Amino acid sequence: MGVLGCWVVFLNPLLPHSVTLLLRYSPTPLRPYPPTPLRPHSPPPYKPVFNFNKKNVFLTKGQLPYLVMLLAPIYLHGVDVSSLFKVTSNKPTILPITAQATIGDKAIKLEVAKNAIAQQTGLTHRPDIPSDRGMLYQTMTQQPLTFSGKGMEFATDLIFINKNRVVGLYTNVTPCTDKCTTYSLTQKYDAVMEVKAGIVEKLGIKNDTEIDLNYAGQN
């Protein structure tokens, strides 16, 4: 009969009450219940914040402060980040005239390249510029600026300036397409003026020549 049969015979008078207790306090249900089907888990769609050239860049809004914190020390410690920007357009970028260089009694109106993209573009892809026009490049970091004739359609003169005095010159920088010669200066300077080739000779500019730079809105 077994243990269960003995308990049933012995507790026969109390069987209804025993069944009630068993049903009430049984740790497992006596009636089989179908298991609850698990809902398929699908993660929320991951939406990119930026879209460059129709290619998704997976960067969330929460990651933007970390990106700024990463790039800020690189920028402030003089690392040239202009190589991070690639100008692919062959169209010239015309900036407003916001400065003027006075050399003796001659004045040259200047476009000012204030950021890395404008400095990389410079005077490239322009057929020509007037003799009284030019581009002024302001040094934004301790990294020296490097120039070449790549992308240019006319020759230029480069004038390196520090505190309104010429500290270096490169004349007749000609256009090139491949394996271009680069031009830079190790001496300290705070601005570089690029003008049409021949202006340096025409105005008699040489090292230590004074150039008065005036910016728009400057008193």
Residue pLDDT, tens place only, 100-132: 999 999 999 999 998 888 998 999 999 999 999
Q: Which of 95, 113, 197 is closest to 156 using CA atoms?
A: 197
Domain boundary among 23, 57, 77: 77
Same domain, 52 and 131: no
Assigned domain for 61 exists: yes
| Parent domain of 138 | 82-215
Q: What is the mean pLDDT of residues 42-49?
A: 54
Query: In terms of domains, do 170 and 105 share one?
Result: yes
Least confident of 46-50, 109-113, 129-133, 171-175: 46-50
For residue 89, the model assigns a pLDDT of: 62
Q: Is residue 24 part of a domain?
A: no
Mean of pLDDT over the chain? 77
Does residue 29 lie in a domain region? no
Domain boundary among 62, 77, 92: 77
11 within some domain: no
- Examine the fold and report which residue of 34, 62, 77 is the final residue of a domain before the chain moves on: 77
User: Is residue 53 helix, strand or coil?
Assistant: coil
Shared domain check, 62 and 155: no
In this predicted structure, what is the pLDDT of residue 47? 52
Give the pLDDT of residue 68.
Answer: 76
Instruction: Report pLDDT digits (tens) over 80-89.
Output: 444 444 445 6
| Residue 207 sits in the same domain as residue 180 | yes
DSSP 3-state of 111 = strand
Indicate whether 165 and 137 sit together in one domain. Answer: yes
Determine the pLDDT at residue 14: 46
- Rounded to an integer, the average pLDDT of 195-206 is 97
Query: Do 158 and 187 fall within a single domain?
Result: yes
Interval 140-157 mean pLDDT: 90
The total number of structural domains in the chain stands at 2
With respect to residue 38, please indicate whether it lies within any of the assigned structural domains.
no
* CATH code of the domain in which 208 resides: 2.60.120.1140
Instruction: Return the closest-CA partner of residue 151 out of 79, 95, 86, 56.
Output: 86
Please check whether residues 69 and 142 belong to one and the same domain: no
Q: Comparing 155 with 38, which gets the higher pLDDT?
A: 155
pLDDT confidence of 1, banded at 50, 70, 90?
Answer: very low
In a domain, 4, yes or no: no
What strand order describes the sheet that includes 156-162? 165-173, 156-162, 191-196, 133-138, 106-113, 97-103, 212-215
DSSP single-letter state for residue 164: T
Q: Are residues 69 and 136 in the same domain?
A: no
In this structure, the answer to whether residues 90 and 133 fall within a common structural domain is yes
Residue 92 sits in the same domain as residue 198: yes
2 found inside a domain: no
Q: Are residues 151 and 120 in the same domain?
A: yes
128-137 pLDDT, tens digit per residue, is: 999 999 999 9
48 lies in some domain:
yes
pLDDT band at 10 (very low <50, low <70, confident <90, very high): very low
* Rounded CA separation 57/61 (Å): 12
Do 112 and 137 lie in a common domain? yes
pTM for the model stands at 0.60
Instruction: Average the pLDDT over each of 67-71, 82-86, 152-156 and give the range with the smallest value.
Output: 82-86
In 10 A of CB 188, how many CB atoms?
Answer: 12
